[in-house]
Structure 1
Amino acid sequence: MFQSIIDFLMDFGSLGLFLHSFADAVIFPIPAFFLQVPLSLINPSQALWLATVGYIGSILGTPLGYWIGKGLGKSVLYKFLKKEWIEKASTMFQRNGEAAILVGAFTPIPFKVFTILAGCLNFSVWRLIGYAALGRATKFYVVGALFYVYGRAAEGMIDGLKYLFLAVGVVVAIGFLVFKKMRNKKTTKLNPEQQSSSTSD
């Protein structure tokens, strides 16, 4: 059934990718990657345009997925998505929500798991959109750039992309966590100094 939907959307070209990307951030269980690749393969010169259309659709769908999660809770996830996806994403969110979104933007786990979970867990919608914008841009434009530069030869690189995306997501998340930890340490150091100065006053 899902393959039939993807085939149907493919007939509409970039508009189909926009709709797929939007739905990918809301409820559709098949990532937009699986439509972006065949469309880019058909017309590599349009690959960057397709990446842009897919990216915009994904970002516009992100807040809708969030509000679905906020209104309906996890029950909607368990109806449409695999239990292991939800459990992995929940564990990532419990450890660090921002890093979970960044990694989630790259992993094979459908992105709507993260948008809906963010709503379920009352994560900031603006922070969700901000981190989603960073992660999703990377994923869409890496695929687009490969096809734009290498043409149809990029098809042979697609399998390796899955591992590359996961590695990039982990590196970005680790870098973010290190930055956040250093910033927290700096804030902690400043607070005692401010307290001592106010006490002396």
Structure 2
Amino acid sequence: MSDTSSPAVPTAFAAASAAVREALSRDDLAVTEIPAPGGLAPHALALAGDVVGASGRADAELGTGRFVLLYDESAPEAWGGVFRVVCFAQAPLETDLALDPFVADVAWSWLVDSLDAGGASRHSASGTATKVLSSGYGELAAQGDGAQLELRASWTPTSTDLAPHVAAWSELICTLAGLPPTVEGVTLLASRRVGRD
């Protein structure tokens, strides 16, 4: 993790890092700063987010995600700029919803709609949405069938105001987890469960 108090830290990265750290996330998501993965860029900052359960404690089993801000003054060609956001969000899914061929498209639209609603200016977005179905056997037979929906995405922000980007990521995790969206124009899947009991 980069130390933004060091004089070697570029001003733009320091400003963007401050915006990330000061960004507001949803109350039903516990967000903490974590060590950034090494080797991706000269400067990086990372956040982890876990959905808060009915007990009031964060529970990654209900929904989890990571937000990583990368900065490289050389402006890698693939990024199209000096910044790159990489994010991940995952939550359990009802098995009947996992069979829906459009559920991955819906997950991507939740991210795009949340970014647009918050005015998160960006370009060069890319990502994958993955549905995972599982069945328990033997000693795990009692677990039965299960499913998860996972979204991995990256994009290039066009300013150091990263607060809307963090807010969109926060919204994505909570929406994947089945919590009511707070962004206008984003809706839940009809039979999506909220696993916060």
Q: TM-score, normalised by structure 1?
A: 0.25
More strand by share: 2
The structure having more radius of gyration, on CA atoms, is 1
More helix by share: 1
